Structure 1
Amino acid sequence: MKAKRASTAQLTKLIRLPKNPTRKERPLISFLRHFSLDLSSSATTTTAAAAAAADDDTAVVTQVVELLQSQDVNWDGEKIRQLLSSSSSPFTHSRLLQVIRRVGDSSKALKFLEWIEQYTSSSSSPISSSLPQASTPSAYQAMFELASREPDYHQKLSHLLQTSKDRGVPLNRDSASLLIRCFGRAQMVMESIRVFNDLDPSVRNTYLCNTLIDVLFKSDRTGDALRILKDMLLPDSSSPPNNVTGSIVFSALMKRNQPRMVVSEKEIIELVFKMGERGIFPDAVRLTQLITKLCRSGSTGRAWDVLHGIMKMGEAVEVPSCNALLTGLGRERDFERMNLLMSEMKQIGIQPGVVTFGILINNLCKSRRVDEALQVFEKMSTEEENAGVAVHPDVITFNTLIDGLCKVGRQEEGLALVERMKSQHACSPNTVTYNCLIDGFCKAGEIERSHELFERMKEEGVSPDVVTLNSLVDGMSSHGRISRAVEFFRDMQRSGLKGNIVTYTTLINAFCHVNNIDKAMEFFEETLSSGCRPDSVVYYTLISGLGRAGRLDDAWSFALNMREAGFYLDTVSYNILISGFCKKKNLDKAYEMLKQMEKEGIRPDEVTYNTLIATLSKAGDFSIARQVMGKMIDEGLVPTVVTYGALIHGYCRAGHLDEAMKIYRDMGSTSKIPPNTVIYNILIDSLCKDEKIEAALSLMDEMHVKAVPPNTVTYNALFKGLREKNWLDKAFELMDQMHTHACNPDYVTMEILTEWFSAVGETDKLKRFVEGDEVSVSSM
């Protein structure tokens, strides 16, 4: 009967009796009550007893906690003993954990635990049977949790950890995880590693490995993290990686700034595939980051392999990852693989979006393949081409195409595209749209059309910006309308549109080119007063302008003022000054500049040394020129064909033809620098002037052998030498060679040949030469 009533009790618990039963429900309720009368009475008694015990349990825990939290608690007093002994139920391990968690101080919790252990060791203790061992992994876990929330948590945790070791209490998984994370947060990474290594192997699992790997990555201990991951990837690993592992690893490896990252691109890729064999892949964001990172470092081929490798493994790939690869391929102008990837996307059901098509269109336009970009544009909105889904171009797509058309001089087509975007796609042109068109018409010299577009954009409510201003100012300045450019700039200033450093640089450069340095300096002063910070381009422009105007002292004074203001000249600026002083034969000032460069830590380059060597060679100071060349080599710079050409030209001018020929021979044998047309022309001209025609013709033959193309200057030098010897037959051969090498005679050629051939009665030959016919003896 007891068993039967128990079943009924269970049934009554499952069935909630309605307060107002219906007519049909009343017999069933009466039946249930008949069989549950005794049980209900018993259950009520039991429930009341349980509630009383629970209240007593809560009261005891509360009173113990209050005693522990007081400053004057007597750990050996009778108060705690009385509380524990007077309780109607034994002080269990569950009550102990409640006290630890509520006491609020890990030191007091540990002291209470030690008191409990000492108290239970007494045979007379009433709780020794209910609490045979107080120091358990769960008790220490509770204290670890308590300590982790305290200000000096790392010290408290270290003390508790050592205490647990001394008492032989092993860590459970939750305690180990908490300690690893907390020590990692406190930059005590070695403690985290020690906790993990000291664990019983049976306790270690994937969750703990993930926790430690995360700490190691955050502490820049990449090598240690990957060693743990390597063990997890072993076939017989008891802690195989999961998706959380992948998230931690891929997030860490994809960070942009990794000061102590020791993982190469190849290793990252290998890791992706090893994880992929376990069914763990980077999410769409991480995969996109990886592909972008590979492409930016020039490893687009590896990025291609990663994306396709993941596809072959069956993992779904999303559009952003494909877009990242398309961007990298576009940077390398690899349109073949761009089109292949677009085709593959459609085959596997990845629908390209407007960004995808925009990447392809943008790169085609940058490569000046505008017609192909227009074809892609037409296809993108065709449903048949895109799996029944039309991709509508946005304003960015239109702007890209319009800019591409303007860059190749097809401004009218770009203008027509604006009308199409408004009529067919309800897409309004913006400031960028008009900037592309205005810049295109300006560069084509159609300044009036640019102004018309400027007025049109204002009428349509499209606000011009500083780019609009700069395009028009540059266009007018570049086509000789500087005054109008200044007037337009002033109008824009009055309307509230201020210029930037590009605006001022454009105007400064324009005035420097027309040698109006004073006006350029006025705009430089305005640059400073307007709050625009001058950059190196402005200084270079002004110094260059002053140098070209021959105002080298002003240029140097300007450079000194800039240095005092905190700006330093670069190598190019110094080269301009050095070249200017060299042209004025003021070598002392040029050397002063060179010393100033070295003082400021700016290394002279090939241009610096070549300028000095050329100047010294022209002046006949060959000894010093050779010293400068030696210093150039000592600085790690390799002499160029310009360097040798300067020396050869100097020796030839000074009449030291043998020295010039020696340098020429050294170029081919020692320096391995092939001479160019200029050097051959210098030597041939000098040999002809020295009446060494055979040697000059021999050099001409060497030019043919070494595939160095002669020019009109080469032939003119030889014609002069042959005229002195009256070698007509050789002159006829050279005249035919000129036609063969497509060298057109100039006025010097005609002057030499006309004077010579008229004197010897060979004007018919000259006529045939002018008409492009062969004139040599062998052709007659």
Structure 2
Amino acid sequence: MLVQSKLLRLRRIHRLLPSTFSSVRRCRSYSSPPLRNDAGLTVTQVVELLQNPLNHWDYDKLRPFLFEASHHLLHITIRLNSIPKALDFINFLGDRTEHHQALSRVFEGALELATQHPNSQKELLMLHSYRKSIGGRIALTSRSGFLLLKCLGKAQMVEDSLILFKELDSSSKSSEICNELLKGLFRSGGIDGALHVLDEMLERDSDFPPNNFTGEVVFRVLGEQERRGRSFADEEIMGLVTKLCEHGVFPDTFKLTQMITKLCRHRKNGVAWEVLHVVMRLGGAVAVEAASCNALLAGLGRERDIQRMNKLMAEMEEMGIKPSVVTFGILVNHLCKARRIDEALQVFDKLRGKGEGNNRVGVEPDVVLFNTLIDGLCKVGREEHGLSLLEEMKTKKQSRPNTITYNCLIDGFCKAGNIGKARELYSQMIEEGVQPSVVTLNTMVNGLCKHGKVHNAVEFFNEMKGKGLKGNAVTYTALISAFCGVNNIDKAMQYFDDMLSSGCSPDAIVYYSLISGLSTAGRMDDASVVVSRLKQAGFGLDLTCYNVLISGFCKKKKLERVYEMLNEMEVTGVKPDIVTYNTLVSYLGKIGDFETASNVMKRMIKEGLEPSVVTYGAVIHAYCLKKNVDEAMKIFEQMCSNSKVPPNTVIYSILIDALCKNSNVEKAVSLMDDMKIKGVRPNTTTYNAIFKGVRDKKMLQKAFELMDRMIEDACSPDYVTMEILTEWFDAVGEIEKLKCFVEGYPVSSSSALSPTSNCF
């Protein structure tokens, strides 16, 4: 009775849907053969009889045709053009025949019709549910298995996919079906299930061995930077690549390069090395191109593994894998970074075929390669050798010197103290028609300033401004630092004024910018020197400057200097503001001096300054950091009852996180309710904190309610949210609700999904 009830319900649903469909498309590998004229006549007769209402179907009239056309039941079903009628046909036959093969063909026809529906995914899932509801009595054909596995894979229904695959007999399984299952499993993070399927495919005498599409699926997943599910173990990666290659399935250049790049980024150069060499060994030069080798060379270069870089280059030459200019660029670049300039020059000489009159490797060095080598030479003080390469570049049409070439050389000679040669190169650059950039300007100005030629730097700066090349913050910083270094604060201030007027720092005053920069960098001694020089020059510190200095000294944990600043403010009549007090309260809370922090807050209130949300937040956060959640809650309650400043999302999030970590999830949940009452909107951080708490307390229903609320708040889950919920829901069998949540559908029991839910 229960099964019949479900069937009736499914029929009712489908009678509300359109009954006509477009022409049926089929996967080529599963296409049904065309009907002969006599068979077509039989199919037409059966279809005409089935156009009558269900209660007028006459089995005695149909039976002769059905036995005659039993192998054409698929065509008959498709010609019905109606999934509800197809289901009725299945039930009609199921009650009157033991021919399960007939039911299989009709069910296949229903699936074909479903693929043509505008909402085909939903229709296919409905047919899957229908088959389950009758106990799986309908055996699946290869085509039916393929369509259902593809549908279940898209819906990320891992368990259903695996169960369905196991139901298929060996004759119905194929490489194409396995590939669809693999796609679905990988999409939903079911790595273990996917590996089990691959083991079956990779067996020696498998009836459904891996093909190139299998390789497409597997190699794409191995190369993805971010993916669902657990990561692959190194031995799993090696095993998959090796076995697939042994079956003649090789990754294309893009996927092999992607795999190696991913492994190298995760500092798994050893695995990347093995992967490349497995493909090399089993596929030879045909399966490996320079791009994949380049990816491994770049990874080895980052680890300064020059030995294996050279070995790989030798293997490429031995196997006939033609390197590109990028290949040599990577090798030269990392040799230069490792200060192995002579080896870089040897590689470069080989590239040029030096001494033999031709290019032995058939690769012409480009301007990037020249620039890399010139920069490397200059960094080790071999500027003259860099100059010889510059002259060589001038003789080549495809690698003419550019702005970067001259910038590298100018920088090298400036750092070597040969300012005259740097100026000469600049003049040569202009003569050659190469336009200088702001980097050129900054390099020259910085070089001149560092070698005590500040006035020359100013002259050069003015000259460049006359030619329309404006300086940026780096230029002004170099000049200001230089004038500060020679105690010429007036000039420093003049250039800060110029800096502001030029638009580099339009929202700051001169001395504040300088003090702020030094304080932010933690250079408090330098900041103090600048403060002293500014005072000597007749400038006074304002409230903003004091606040910046106090903040800087707090970060350096120099409390005595903080008190000096506060005393100085009192003497000079500069009153602390909310920023001053918040800085002090935050620092005192972090070092655990809550008594002094409390006194500062009282002083603040006495001065007529109402503690801001930042003030309360700093104290609450400090207590939470010290795991004193009870005191944090007292401050919170004081804030709510006595303060004119309501708590904000940040404060609620801090407390909810601390309460959950303290196993007081019930209180955290009550704070969430309090937020709703007071109209404070939670953010993703808030929800992540409470989700962790309810997960640890196994409060599943509360999680559903919170998920619904998160949807109502239009608050988007992030990767942390999904990581928390995916592992939990997968473990408790509620992964379907998580899918609905991701798609923005309610999931709590009060809004449970109906069979017509659109969340799929």
Scaled to the shorter chain, the TM-score interval is: 0.5 to 0.7
Per mean C-alpha deviation after superposition, the further-off stretch among 276-285 and 467-476 is 276-285
Q: Distance in 2 between matches of 1:468 and 1:447?
A: 13
Per mean C-alpha deviation after superposition, the further-off stretch among 468-477 and 454-463 is 454-463
1:445-456 aligned within 5 A: 445-456=417-428
How many pairs are equivalent? 531
The structure with the largest alpha-carbon Rg is 1
1:403-414 aligned within 5 A: 403-414=375-386
Per mean C-alpha deviation after superposition, the further-off stretch among 592-601 and 146-155 is 592-601
Letter in 2 for 1:271: L
Q: Distance in 2 between matches of 1:134 and 1:249?
A: 34
Tell me the CA shift for residue 179 of structure 1: 1.2
Per mean C-alpha deviation after superposition, the further-off stretch among 400-409 and 385-394 is 385-394
Report the counterpart of residue 546 of structure 1 in structure 2: 527
1:83-102 aligned within 5 A: 92=69, 97-98=74-75, 100-101=77-78
Change (3 A) 1:597 1:441: farther
**The one of 217, 231, 235 aligned to 1:248:** 217
Letter in 2 for 1:430: N
**The one of 199, 203, 222 aligned to 1:230:** 199
Report the counterpart of residue 285 of structure 1 in structure 2: 254
Whether the 8 Å contact between 2:410 and 2:444 is mirrored in structure 1 is yes
Q: Any idea what SS the aligned residue of 1:107 has?
A: helix
Report the counterpart of residue 113 of structure 2 in structure 1: 146
Per mean C-alpha deviation after superposition, the further-off stretch among 505-514 and 436-445 is 505-514
Letter in 1 for 2:256: L
Tell me the CA shift for residue 252 of structure 1: 0.6
Whether the 8 Å contact between 2:86 and 2:107 is mirrored in structure 1 is no
Tell me the CA shift for residue 241 of structure 1: 3.3
Change (3 A) 1:258 1:95: closer
Per mean C-alpha deviation after superposition, the further-off stretch among 445-454 and 341-350 is 445-454
Q: Distance in 2 between matches of 1:602 and 1:260?
A: 41
Change (3 A) 1:506 1:204: farther
Tell me the CA shift for residue 420 of structure 1: 0.9
1:611-650 aligned within 5 A: none
Report the counterpart of residue 258 of structure 1 in structure 2: 227
Report the counterpart of residue 373 of structure 2 in structure 1: 401
Change (3 A) 1:530 1:249: farther
1:676-723 Cα distance to aligned partner (Å, 9 max, x none): xxxxxxxxxxxxxxxxxxxxxxxxxxxxxxxxxxxxxxxxxxxxxxxx
1:463-612 aligned within 5 A: 463-482=435-454, 485=457, 488-489=460-461, 497=469, 499-515=471-487, 516=489, 518-519=493-494, 522=497, 525=500, 526-529=503-506, 539-540=520-521, 545-550=526-531, 554=541, 557-558=544-545, 560=547, 574-575=555-556, 598=587
Whether the 8 Å contact between 1:148 and 1:157 is mirrored in structure 2 is yes
Report the counterpart of residue 327 of structure 2 in structure 1: 356
Q: Distance in 2 between matches of 1:108 and 1:494?
A: 85
Tell me the CA shift for residue 342 of structure 1: 2.1
Whether the 8 Å contact between 2:158 and 2:184 is mirrored in structure 1 is yes
Per mean C-alpha deviation after superposition, the further-off stretch among 308-317 and 592-601 is 592-601
Whether the 8 Å contact between 2:241 and 2:278 is mirrored in structure 1 is no
1:658-677 aligned within 5 A: none
Whether the 8 Å contact between 1:288 and 1:324 is mirrored in structure 2 is yes
Per mean C-alpha deviation after superposition, the further-off stretch among 141-150 and 454-463 is 454-463
Q: Distance in 1 between matches of 2:379 and 2:338?
A: 10
Per mean C-alpha deviation after superposition, the further-off stretch among 166-175 and 382-391 is 382-391
1:575-616 Cα distance to aligned partner (Å, 9 max, x none): 296686599998999x99996564797999xxxxxxxxxxxx
Q: Distance in 2 between matches of 1:212 and 1:603?
A: 57
Change (3 A) 1:508 1:237: farther
1:431-470 aligned within 5 A: 431-470=403-442
Change (3 A) 1:520 1:423: closer
Q: Distance in 2 between matches of 1:261 and 1:413?
A: 52
Q: Distance in 1 between matches of 2:479 and 2:522?
A: 10
Tell me the CA shift for residue 157 of structure 1: 2.2
Q: Any idea what SS the aligned residue of 1:352 has?
A: coil
Whether the 8 Å contact between 2:182 and 2:197 is mirrored in structure 1 is yes
Q: Any idea what SS the aligned residue of 2:521 has?
A: helix
With the length of structure 1 as denominator, give the TM-score of the two structures: 0.57
Structure 2 unaligned segments of length 5 or more: list them: 1-34, 571-579, 594-624, 627-760
Q: Distance in 2 between matches of 1:191 and 1:477?
A: 72
Report the counterpart of residue 293 of structure 2 in structure 1: 322
1:254-285 Cα distance to aligned partner (Å, 9 max, x none): 21113533323343234333444444443333
1:372-425 Cα distance to aligned partner (Å, 9 max, x none): 322221121229799954322111111111112221223233222122112156
Tell me the CA shift for residue 321 of structure 1: 2.6
Moved over 6 A (4+): 50-65, 115-118, 131-134, 383-387, 533-538, 582-589, 591-594, 599-604
Report the counterpart of residue 10 of structure 1 in structure 2: none
**The one of 291, 300, 318 aligned to 2:269:** 300
Q: Distance in 2 between matches of 1:364 and 1:234?
A: 45
Whether the 8 Å contact between 1:547 and 1:577 is mirrored in structure 2 is no
Q: Distance in 2 between matches of 1:102 and 1:204?
A: 27
Whether the 8 Å contact between 1:295 and 1:303 is mirrored in structure 2 is yes
Whether the 8 Å contact between 2:476 and 2:495 is mirrored in structure 1 is no
Change (3 A) 1:483 1:269: farther
Q: Any idea what SS the aligned residue of 1:527 has?
A: coil
Tell me the CA shift for residue 349 of structure 1: 1.9
Report the counterpart of residue 160 of structure 1 in structure 2: 127
Q: Distance in 2 between matches of 1:111 and 1:363?
A: 71
Whether the 8 Å contact between 2:245 and 2:283 is mirrored in structure 1 is no
Whether the 8 Å contact between 2:188 and 2:228 is mirrored in structure 1 is no
Two-structure CA RMSD over aligned residues (Å): 5.0
Letter in 1 for 2:320: G
Tell me the CA shift for residue 214 of structure 1: 1.5
Q: Distance in 2 between matches of 1:257 and 1:251?
A: 11
Letter in 2 for 1:229: L
Percent identity over paired residues: 40
**The one of 419, 424, 442 aligned to 2:391:** 419
Change (3 A) 1:94 1:448: farther
Tell me the CA shift for residue 503 of structure 1: 4.0
Say yes or no: does 1:192 pair with 2:161: yes
Q: Any idea what SS the aligned residue of 2:504 has?
A: helix
Change (3 A) 1:593 1:149: same
Q: Any idea what SS the aligned residue of 2:407 has?
A: helix
Say yes or no: does 1:374 pair with 2:341: no
Change (3 A) 1:435 1:593: farther
Change (3 A) 1:174 1:529: farther
Letter in 1 for 2:504: T
Tell me the CA shift for residue 51 of structure 1: 10
Q: Distance in 2 between matches of 1:58 and 1:168?
A: 25
Tell me the CA shift for residue 346 of structure 1: 1.7
Q: Any idea what SS the aligned residue of 2:399 has?
A: coil
Letter in 2 for 1:211: E
Per mean C-alpha deviation after superposition, the further-off stretch among 53-62 and 247-256 is 53-62
Q: Distance in 2 between matches of 1:179 and 1:537?
A: 65
Letter in 2 for 1:367: A
Say yes or no: does 1:215 pair with 2:196: no
Letter in 2 for 1:265: D
Letter in 2 for 1:323: N
Tell me the CA shift for residue 347 of structure 1: 1.9
Report the counterpart of residue 757 of structure 2 in structure 1: none
- Higher RCO by CA contacts (8 Å cutoff, separation 6 or greater): 2
Change (3 A) 1:425 1:173: same
Tell me the CA shift for residue 143 of structure 1: 1.7
Whether the 8 Å contact between 1:508 and 1:523 is mirrored in structure 2 is no
Q: Distance in 2 between matches of 1:198 and 1:146?
A: 23
Letter in 2 for 1:256: Q
Tell me the CA shift for residue 573 of structure 1: 8.3
Q: Distance in 2 between matches of 1:405 and 1:294?
A: 31
Q: Distance in 2 between matches of 1:456 and 1:378?
A: 26
Q: Any idea what SS the aligned residue of 2:172 has?
A: coil
